[in-house]
Amino acid sequence: MSKKQTEESQLTLLEFDKKHVWHPYTSMSSPLPSYHVESANGVYLKLADGEKLIDGMSSWWSVLHGYNHPKLNAALIEQSTKMSHVMFGGLTHNSAIELCKKLVQLTPAGLDRVFLSDSGSVAVEVAIKMALQFQQAQGKADKAKLLTVRNGYHGDTFAAMSVCDPVTGMHQIFDKVLMKNIFAPAPSCMFGETWQENDIEKLAELFEQHHSEIAAFIIEPIVQGTGGMRFYHPQYLKACRKLCDQYDVLLIVDEIATGFGRTGKLFACEWADISPDIMCLGKTLTGGYITLAATLCSSIVAETISNGDAGCFMHGPTFMGNALACAVANASIDLLFENNWQQQVANIEQELITLLLPLKSHARVKEARVLGSIGAIECISPVNVATIQKRFVELGVWIRPFGKLIYIIPPLIINKAQMKTLVGAMATVLAEDNCFI
Ligand SMILES: *Cc1c(COP(=O)(O)O)cnc(C)c1O
């Protein structure tokens, strides 16, 4: 063994991780601790030291039916005995066809064409490229910018970043390469409030001023997730649809976080009773098992692109239509209906209303919000991530707050007692000064 090999072999696994492995949005020079997961089952993450944590995060919004689910496992195993993957150029297969059929059937009317890709950010890139190619193909090449609202989050790749909130998306760092897009204020009339028509005024002005240079308007429907866990009024989304029609701008709806029941509707668009021209899906698509995303569009968008100069849509990932991912996605969608997802979400919402909303009266809490299976409290000061995380683990839960927000979005199979433990842990840390900055 070389000297380097000897040194490395003496590190424990966790030490190696800390020294060599990037984790998301964490410093490599003074990293936050990573907890070592050995396995996961149902709603529980089991740590290497034997401790079991109730997962309040669904592994970043993706797990629906719990970990290590026999039916999802079986779908993967069965598919793997046929083939795990084949290229999608010139080849096709049952798992992908079946999935696309389901997506066309379940999503809002008019979304008839499906483009499969690897991850949410890529699905957003695909949506943006579709919009640009569509405008070019209909002879409107000047329509090459995007319009969006502040507080948005659409992923970490470049086009996606260019429509993320300029502050939290750190636009200044990437200023030289990011597309220069147009930002309206975030919706301020919230879900459940009385609709205020003037909430749309500034956005309407921007449409009027800039429509000749705007290819598409992109927005997260009803829930602005990573940009602040804000739930806005469905009338806002309805108005967006109208403005897009009026100014020949495509409406891209990013349902990556909200899709498959999270908000109490199968897709959050349904709150506003609208169909977008393009829709992005990801996160829950495979029930949290494997990375997979989809971008759906209308026939008009697909036909116009295909009849344009390029003659086709210019994108094609290596792992497009991955058979393992499609097979587990099919099984996950079937389980949603077998398990009556509406009832599952309604049960979680009821627990959140009973247990989490009252935290609003705590001195440290500015606001508490609940929609479907999503519950969030916005604190007056930011959390101390390292201490609060450690406390949550001691309390037997996995909750990962960011900024001033402590939120949970548990797997749909969570029961009442587990909900009580999750929200109880939130209440406990609120009383602890060292968990906050
Ligand atoms: C998570 C997320 C994305 C990005 O998905 P990745 O799979 O992380 O690339 C895009 N849009 C929204 C709304 C998201 O929540």
pLDDT, one tens digit per residue, over 245-275 is: 999 999 999 999 999 999 999 999 999 999 9
Instruction: Give me the mean pLDDT over the 33-59 stretch.
Output: 97
Nearest atom in ligand 1 to the alpha carbon of residue 155 is: 4
Distance 154 CA to ligand 1 centre (A): 5
Per residue in 301-320, pLDDT (tens digit) is 999 999 999 999 999 999 99
Distance CA 3, CA 6 (A): 5
Question: Lowest-confidence range among 6-15, 66-75, 148-157?
Answer: 6-15
| Residue found under tokens 């990011």 | 178
Mutation probe of ligand 1 site: the residue of 117, 146, 153, 280 with most atoms within 8 A of C-beta: 153
Instruction: Identify which of 424, 265, 287, 413 has the alpha carbon closest to the alpha carbon of residue 339.
Output: 413
Question: Lowest-confidence range among 13-22, 231-240, 339-348?
Answer: 13-22
Mapping DSSP to helix (H, G, I), strand (E, B) and coil, where does residue 52 land?
A: strand
Checking if the pLDDT of 3 tops 80, the result is no
Distance 307 CA to ligand 1 centre (A): 30
Checking if the pLDDT of 98 tops 80, the result is yes
Distance CA 118, CA 295 (A): 11
pLDDT band at 4 (very low <50, low <70, confident <90, very high): low
Mapping DSSP to helix (H, G, I), strand (E, B) and coil, where does residue 389 land?
A: helix
Nearest atom in ligand 1 to the alpha carbon of residue 119 is: 7
pTM for the whole structure:
0.97
pLDDT band at 363 (very low <50, low <70, confident <90, very high): very high
Angle value at C-alpha 253, between 252 and 254, nearest 5 degrees: 115
Distance 169 CA to ligand 1 centre (A): 13
Enumerate residues lining ligand 1, CB below 6 A. 119-121, 124, 153-155, 220, 225-226, 254, 256-257, 282-283
Nearest atom in ligand 1 to the alpha carbon of residue 282 is: 7
pLDDT at 278: 99
Checking if the pLDDT of 42 tops 80, the result is yes
Per residue in 135-188, pLDDT (tens digit) is 999 999 999 999 999 999 999 999 999 999 999 888 889 989 999 999 999 999
Distance 92 CA to ligand 1 centre (A): 26
Checking if the pLDDT of 8 tops 80, the result is no
DSSP code, position 163 = T
Instruction: Give me the mean pLDDT over the 408-432 stretch.
Output: 98
Going by CA atoms, what residue is nearest to atom 11 of ligand 1? 154
Question: Lowest-confidence range among 2-6, 182-186, 192-196, 337-341?
Answer: 2-6
pLDDT at 208: 98
CA 300 to centroid of chain Cα atoms: 26
CB 113 within 8 A of CB 276: no
Mutation probe of ligand 1 site: the residue of 23, 154, 269, 402 with most atoms within 8 A of C-beta: 154
Mapping DSSP to helix (H, G, I), strand (E, B) and coil, where does residue 147 land?
A: strand
Which residues form the catalytic set? 25, 153, 254, 283
Distance 167 CA to ligand 1 centre (A): 17
229: left (phi over 0), alpha (psi -120 to 50) or beta: left
Q: Which domains are seen in the chain, by residue range?
A: 35-65+340-435 (3.90.1150.10), 73-338 (3.40.640.10)
CB 371 within 8 A of CB 191: yes
CB 47 within 8 A of CB 24: no
Distance 164 CA to ligand 1 centre (A): 11
Distance CA 30, CA 148 (A): 35
Going by CA atoms, what residue is nearest to atom 6 of ligand 1? 120
Nearest atom in ligand 1 to the alpha carbon of residue 283 is: 7
Going by CA atoms, what residue is nearest to atom 3 of ligand 1? 155
Nearest atom in ligand 1 to the alpha carbon of residue 121 is: 9
pLDDT at 11: 78
* % of the chain exceeding 90 in pLDDT: 95
pLDDT band at 416 (very low <50, low <70, confident <90, very high): very high
| Residue found under tokens 């405008």 | 135
Going by CA atoms, what residue is nearest to atom 5 of ligand 1? 120
Q: What is the mean pLDDT of the chain?
A: 96
Instruction: Give me the mean pLDDT over the 88-112 stretch.
Output: 98
Checking if the pLDDT of 5 tops 80, the result is no
Q: What is the dihedral of CA 23, 25, 27, 28, to 10 degrees?
A: 30
CB 54 within 8 A of CB 43: yes
pLDDT band at 2 (very low <50, low <70, confident <90, very high): low
pLDDT at 6: 64
